[in-house]
Amino acid sequence: MKSTLARGKAAFLEYYSRLHLVPDLESYLTAKNPPVLLVSPLHESETKKEFASHHLSWHPLDWFPHTISWPPEVKIGTPLPGFQPGWLYSLNPSSLLPVLAVNPQPGDTILDACAAPGGKTLAAINLLWPKIPHLISADASLPRFKRLRTTLKLFGFPQIVTLHSPVQALPYKLAEQFDKILLDAPCSSEKHVFNSKRHLKIWSPNRIATLSHLQNLLITTLLPLLKPDGQLIYSTCALSPAENEDIVAASLAKHPELTLTKPPQRYTDPHSQFDPMFIATFEKSKSLPES
């Protein structure tokens, strides 16, 4: 029997419109928010001089260190001074929000569990600089892992420990426990899908079910690596509640040792600079609550 499961753009819009997450879904998904630029703190003065020599604007973000706005006079995607040597890293401002939630502190041991291609690892470095976080960055995809290693090397931090491994194998490869774990989980990434003809053509609701199952599994897998009183920061760039609020509810029900440090945050304001982002911070208690 052939599957009658709806696919493609019409099915996508019908599914997400029923969720009433944003008022004008299609406009929201196609809006292009300017990226920001992480600047290597080791090469910041050189990069700033290069910008000045090319008469480019240099506007530091007031809420994230060693990071500047994309020069408004330059078309997004244009190569900028600092790109070629790897001293700049472009990403959406929303990608900085999970790193702010991690709030790396001197002495923290941190795991970036799905780290490639490396933006959040670099952001953690910039946020703590001139201290360098005790950080392990892992990723399952070999091509993306290689890109992560190259990105760290060019940015000036080849000493950051990296690990090519699926999250499910990390408990067998890492003996230490972590104060903080960032799980920026594989997710539906609807904005990316909607703007990719290839991905949108084959989209179906089954993708959400598959990913939510994986997300639940990843949280369960990572908990043994978290110290008592440690924090697991769960984030996605998904819109679907099945990958966000439902994951939080399922995790709290399945793992009584977990609590939320504050209500989860969902960023879907169409008038903000942020692409979709969801963040929940779990804390692991020292002992299970009494029944």
Give the residue ranges of the annotated binding site for S-adenosyl-L-methionine.
114-120, 139, 184
Give the residue ranges of the annotated binding site.
114-120, 139, 184
Name the token pair of 139.
């990723």
What is the phi/psi pair of residue 44, to 5°? -65, -45
Q: How many residues does the chain have?
A: 291
Catalytic residue positions, numbered: 237
Label residues 158-169 b or e (16+ Cβ within 10 Å = b): eebebbbbebee
